[in-house]
Structure 1
């Protein structure tokens, strides 16, 4: 069974949907919730769900290399095989990327390569486009530049606000992320060799 860590920086609603779905799966389990924000509500969700959680603040470290060395040690201690980013607002650096090559997955609230980085929902509204969406992709050294696993479109209505569009996108995320993980973590499959069309 693949041992999965979820990284989150904020509310953790995607994390919770992933945990609930994982309880029905035989091929993977969520063994750790990691956050870079000690006040993140995702940590409370982990407590409520009975998932081991740890928070390490980057501000307590001299540089990113030292910070990621401790995060990596945490992952190794917990025998983590794969990482799922769910609202983790920090770029993964080479220390973790090298150890978990092609084993880190992210979800992003746009149809990449459109609107990468922060504030993707605001970017799509400001651009005046009629659709955006959700992208699940592998993580590389860039900002939302890794190979795409799956995308789903979300329409933008003229009356949509940031709040209504965010709600529509999150509904898709909460359904799509567990679906993709179920397929990626089928028994004995290597994530790096898996493609969902």
Structure 2
């Protein structure tokens, strides 16, 4: 990722007010997620989902390219008394942290080469939770741009060495057309 992109994300997170709510998709999986173990939040921004996972009982590592986002996440974790590891990582240049992780969460971030690494960092029985808007999202929303969208029906084809547990694609209550997937690494 270019330094210009890093600055763009730092500016965006610097202008963000308050903490965002955790993903509704993630919260809907509460009964399916482990309540102990390790989790990795990939490109997790200011940590709203990472903090939810930590409150759920997981030891969470949040990686993102934005220093500002990571500072906000660390501060929110300290203020709420929740342990959270943060690490600046340029996922276009550096590999995922080594696992094993019981949960890998990747929401609203698309970098297709990462799919080859997800199974490698998951523990046996570990879950990948992934959601990303599809090209159909452009029918109602200008963002994200086409370059950051999945093709309709593409997500299951990207999964490597994992068993798809659930997959949906369609319009969400938030007004986005998303592909949502949970996949498990074999035991």
TM-score (norm 1): 0.44
Structure with greater Cα Rg: 1
TM-score (norm 2): 0.46
More strand by share: 2
